[in-house]
Amino acid sequence: MTVPVDLGAALSRFSDPWQPRTIAVLNDYDVRVAKTLGEFTWHSHPDTDELFLVVKGSLTIRMEAGDVTLGPGQLYVVPRGVRHQPVSSEGAEIVLIEPSVTVNTGDSPGALTAERRVL
Amino acid sequence: MTVPVDLGAALSRFSDPWQPRTIAVLNDYDVRVAKTLGEFTWHSHPDTDELFLVVKGSLTIRMEAGDVTLGPGQLYVVPRGVRHQPVSSEGAEIVLIEPSVTVNTGDSPGALTAERRVL
């Protein structure tokens, strides 16, 4: 029997916010889970769109043209090149889907930049 | 204010099983939702992996090397070229992620083959 990937189980295995873990690979894309809390870095990804799906909690993606707030079961694709700042005052558990080469802080590396990590 | 894509709301807009609707685009990939009920066609996708995520209900993906059964919040990536048959005796609501050019029945076109449809 093949075992599925369980989002809740994967998210229960770590607690540090803004540090995505890769839980599955789809061609040259990663499916990542992350916890979010507080404010992330303003950044963009010049070469790719980025998908955010909220599993639990609430995540706001600030963008210059307007914010979007996601609750459980809601997703948003930030277009390539669009500057955005994920923020989550009460915390959230999310899925990210993006090319495996994508770095979380995009064009704005800093203290929150994470290495690609497979859970 | 930008509006998120709500999986439950999207899934409430149609009822026909095995007819995916595209609800978001990520580069050259589609995010699709579908309802499943009964047995789909055995097929494979020679050129791409395919991601299944269950939102509601239960979906079994039959494969020659072993089946995998997904419940809510569980996902599985069927590797390219692997023959599979999705089955769902009690029905499920799912998310599919795959290249936008991917056809649901892959290398086995037939009565269940669906055109790409944007919800």
Domain count across chain A: 1
Please, which residues have CB within 8 angstroms of residue A115's CB and are 6 or more apart in sequence?
Answer: none
Place of tokens 């056809």: B103
Query: What pTM was estimated for this model as a whole?
Result: 0.96
Alpha-carbon span A13 to A119, nearest angstrom: 8
**Weakly modelled stretches of chain B, pLDDT under 70:** 1
* Rg, chain A, Cα only: 13
* Domain annotation covers residue A75: yes
Beta bridge partners of B43: B84
Q: Which backbone phi and psi does A44 adopt, to 5 degrees?
A: -140, 165
* Domain annotation covers residue A88: yes
Share of chain A above pLDDT 70, in %: 99
Q: What does the mean pLDDT of chain A come to?
A: 97
**Is ipTM > 0.85 here?**
yes
Q: What is the pLDDT of residue A1?
A: 67
* Residue positions counted in chain A: 119
* Domain annotation covers residue B113: no
Q: How far is CA B42 from CA A100, B63, B83, B108, B114, in A?
A: 29, 9, 6, 7, 15
Instruction: Kindly list the residues from chain A whose CB atom is less than 8 angstroms away from the CB atom of residue B68.
Output: 1-4
Distance from CA of A73 to the nearest CA of B (A): 6
Q: What is the pLDDT of residue B1?
A: 67
* Domain annotation covers residue B36: yes
Q: Alpha helix (H) ranges present in chain A?
A: 7-11
**Which of B6, B27, B80 minimises the CB distance to A73?**
B6
- Give the H/E segment covering residue B107: none
* Domain annotation covers residue A80: yes
Distance from CA of B39 to the nearest CA of A (A): 19
Q: Which backbone phi and psi does A83 adopt, to 5 degrees?
A: -70, 135
* Domain annotation covers residue B1: no
Domain that holds residue B70: 7-99
* Domain annotation covers residue B23: yes
Residue of A11, A27, A60, A68 to mutate when probing chain B, most B C-beta within 10 A: A27
Alpha-carbon span A56 to A35, nearest angstrom: 9
CATH code of the domain containing B75: 2.60.120.10
pLDDT tens-digit series, residues A54-98:
999 999 999 999 999 999 999 999 999 999 999 999 999 999 999
**Which of A2, A4, A77 minimises the CB distance to B75?**
A4
* Domain annotation covers residue B110: no
